[in-house]
Structure 1
Amino acid sequence: MHRKTRAQRYDYWHVWALPILLGVLSSIGLLAALIGDDLWDGLSWLCLLIPLVVIGWYVLKAGKRKRV
């Protein structure tokens, strides 16, 4: 059986899927904030909050790794 090396396991989508998704969410959030009020405001808050939560999660994860 052929085993893939670590570099072969991480293809294009493994590297870029999350940054692309966060960029799309940010764009949707910014556009929703410009389009209207009420429901659009909630959508913009949600779409702009998700990237911040993901960034915070990765920062905390990296901080825990350095301490150990």
Structure 2
Amino acid sequence: MTNRFWHIWTIPLLLAIVSLGGLISALVGNDLWDVLSWLTLSIPLLVIGRFWLWPQGNKKAVK
């Protein structure tokens, strides 16, 4: 049960932590913090774009 939980939720939890870090860095300061927030908040968008452009899954047609 625990192994299945982590298998499913590892990547979403990591993306949530990265997003939270980006949001906090955007609120904390300027200059370098702004760059850090842009970089960290772009990671989930890059992941979404990757799976939108090149989806994974079964390539066989369902009959």
In the alignment, what sits opposite 1:43? 36
Greater Rg, structure 1 or structure 2?
1
> What TM-score does the superposition give when structure 2 sets the normalisation length?
0.78
- TM-score norm. by structure 1 comes to 0.73
Deviation at 1:47, TM superposition (A): 0.6
Deviant stretches of 4+, over 3 Å: none
Unaligned segments of structure 2, at least 5 residues: none
1:27 equivalenced with 2:16 (yes/no): no
How far does residue 38 in structure 1 lie from its aligned partner after superposition? 0.8
Give 1:54's aligned residue. 47
**C-alpha RMSD of matched pairs (Å):** 2.3
Q: How many residues align?
A: 58
